[in-house]
Structure 1
């Protein structure tokens, strides 16, 4: 009985279509004739899907190496130990990355303190901000506040200060999250992906999504082609080839994985969520500092219905004083949700070519002067309820 050779599934199928074995005319239930047009179509579609899958993959990998979206570290940042460090130093670093308080830190002997001072060129890691001392003026705020209060709105804490990362010793821009895998704060971090060897963030989420979509189409094509030819083998009485069955199962596994991943990313993208934000979207609330507009002597004497914070914290003569209202979203609200269509365009671009090929960065990578990322109707509603907008 004639069977396919098991050297390579794709070449076997093409050989079978172009030059079916003469033995098939005797052993098959009905004659198997050459099908050259089908073989050419399979080769062309296969090559196109393979290229479409490979291009965004390498684009994603390249961006991870050149522009992963990291936030710059401050002078007191906790530094990642290199592989050459001893196991004791690695354990010390792992402990330092965990949330700690002053009471949890073990007492240090003078000799131990001197040794560490000589061996390290950086200051001790900052545990957290003393917000009360910053507002009282007894402690200077870490530099970089002007990057926030020059905008019209930014995410803050209850006091009106931006969110601070003590591990990186720097203020977090909106939608920035600290990744323990790389020890850095990452803009619009989505997740750490071992398949591409790094962080999926604002700079590479678009090519990553294109990659998983094309990977799903590629494996679906293989799955369909193999299923058709396995079924034909059985139908003409040649039985089931173990090689094709194995490839069929592998293709099905990767298809369902890639399809599930792409479906999940598309769903979150239409709602303008990252994977990190999606984990807590049911009860997450945000504090947002919203610029109240120029202050007149009359409005300055009025008691607002909301907490306020004024920047700069230590104004000098002639400084541009900017007052911000501290507003809070309702649990589960996403202040960056612009609607499904606008959310998709912010990620993928505004033309079909941008949707299909990773030729440009996502539009939301161009951070505006008024907001780090565009706010949606939720912020407009909050401003109306606070009397900051009449629209």
Structure 2
């Protein structure tokens, strides 16, 4: 199943770019093999040279620098192979695993009835999304994914962020994409060069994307160096200017600069553990964190608290739980005759609503840990597009994505110990 943009222009650009890249690579291969490493630049010589290369028998015509030609050919085809492999891996990952947040039941119903992906009322251009305000149901589907964590991003009232288009709660680092009209986990951007949305596949597809831009920059560097060196020798010997070499220099120079800048930018994202969206306004951005604290704790002058599951209006359970929280009492786990209300009270979790300082990144683990989160833990992962990024496993329960020391610093500012979630009696649930 593929996930295309809702915009026709983006879809066509996405389909055309791979053709342009294939033509550019084919042209560069012809110039490098037939014009740089082989003096006879006719198409037949080019085809014959490729066949000989496959037989590992390099035939270099009219040139005594056989060693240099062989080195150029080996490096050229090595980086071309790595470039193509990482590009294909990137495209496949992005188009088969975009990391979309599931639609809420209301959005599913609306879109099914409308027969399309529009989420606004009718044809009213000024109409608001169907459900601008969050779902007020205390048992709203999806809430349990948040309060079973120890830390999650929230609004001022302590509830998670809500997407009015998808009618669902947005996990940490998820954003709504106008290209797909869906919320995307850890959304970065829609990339026509990579063939789609860079999202929850972001760590994995982005790992492959970093490898792709790096190998492409090296590949273009080989083309640029080989074509430039050969053109210089031709001009020095008075043989005139080869138009094919000039064209290769132009293509190589453009794509070398483009892919080099993309590589530097991508590596910066990796080392900071941020996405393109995270960096927008990052110097002034403030995050609100729901941080789990001992059950029944009360708010202070610097923060307020919220209990999950949310109270059901009018229930005797919610009234009893409020009294228990206010009195600081806890039900006993080992009481055989425990009633349902007392038993269920043990599942209550209390969260303090804390704020980061402007510019603080809760997911910054340090350069080395950030690198391993995306690129992997060993050199095989770094060089080859084989395994997925470690951070897409979601195998830890503390938060949706690993958080760094900033969270402990925020706790400390409010007098909350890092290990205080379990409470003194150890009754909090994991």
TM-score class, shorter = 0.7 to 0.9
Which digits, 9 at most, give the CA deviation of each residue in 1:52-75, with x for residues without a partner?
Answer: 111111111111222111111112
Q: State yes or no: 1:314 paired with 2:311.
A: yes
2:172 corresponds in structure 1 to 174
Cα distance in 1 for partners of 2:35, 2:104 equals 59
Cα distance in 2 for partners of 1:352, 1:201 equals 24
Q: How far did residue 303 of structure 1 move?
A: 4.5
Which digits, 9 at most, give the CA deviation of each residue in 1:185-237, with x for residues without a partner?
Answer: 11111111001221112321111111111111111111111111111111111
Alignment partner of 1:349 out of 376, 391, 396: 376
Is residue 391–residue 401 contact of structure 2 (8 Å, CA) maintained in 1? Answer: yes
Task: Kindly report the root-mean-square deviation, in angstroms, between the aligned alpha carbons of the 2 structures.
Answer: 2.9
1:373 corresponds in structure 2 to 401
1:262 corresponds in structure 2 to 263
Which digits, 9 at most, give the CA deviation of each residue in 1:251-278, with x for residues without a partner?
Answer: 1001111111111111122111101111
Q: How far did residue 99 of structure 1 move?
A: 12
Q: 1:185 to 1:79 in 2, by over 3 A?
A: farther
Q: State yes or no: 1:13 paired with 2:36.
A: yes
Q: 1:51 to 1:205 in 2, by over 3 A?
A: same
Q: How does 1:233-382 map to 2 (within 5 A)?
A: 233-295=234-296, 299-300=297-298, 303=300, 305-314=302-311, 317=341, 318-319=343-344, 320-367=347-394, 368-382=396-410
Cα distance in 2 for partners of 1:97, 1:331 equals 40
TM-score when normalising by structure 2? 0.72
Unaligned runs of 5+ in 1: 1-5, 21-32, 107-123
Paired residue secondary structure (1:171):
strand
Cα distance in 1 for partners of 2:209, 2:399 equals 25
Q: How far did residue 36 of structure 1 move?
A: 2.0
Q: State yes or no: 1:187 paired with 2:185.
A: yes
Cα distance in 2 for partners of 1:217, 1:376 equals 34
Is residue 78–residue 97 contact of structure 1 (8 Å, CA) maintained in 2? Answer: no
1:209 corresponds in structure 2 to 210
Q: How far did residue 93 of structure 1 move?
A: 3.5
Q: 1:334 to 1:96 in 2, by over 3 A?
A: farther
Cα distance in 2 for partners of 1:281, 1:98 equals 36
Alignment partner of 1:157 out of 133, 150, 155: 155
Paired residue secondary structure (1:189):
coil
Is residue 52–residue 214 contact of structure 1 (8 Å, CA) maintained in 2? Answer: yes
How many residues are matched?
Answer: 337
Unaligned runs of 5+ in 2: 1-27, 40-58, 318-340, 420-430
Cα distance in 2 for partners of 1:180, 1:223 equals 38
Q: 1:47 to 1:232 in 2, by over 3 A?
A: same
Q: 1:79 to 1:212 in 2, by over 3 A?
A: farther
TM-score when normalising by structure 1? 0.79
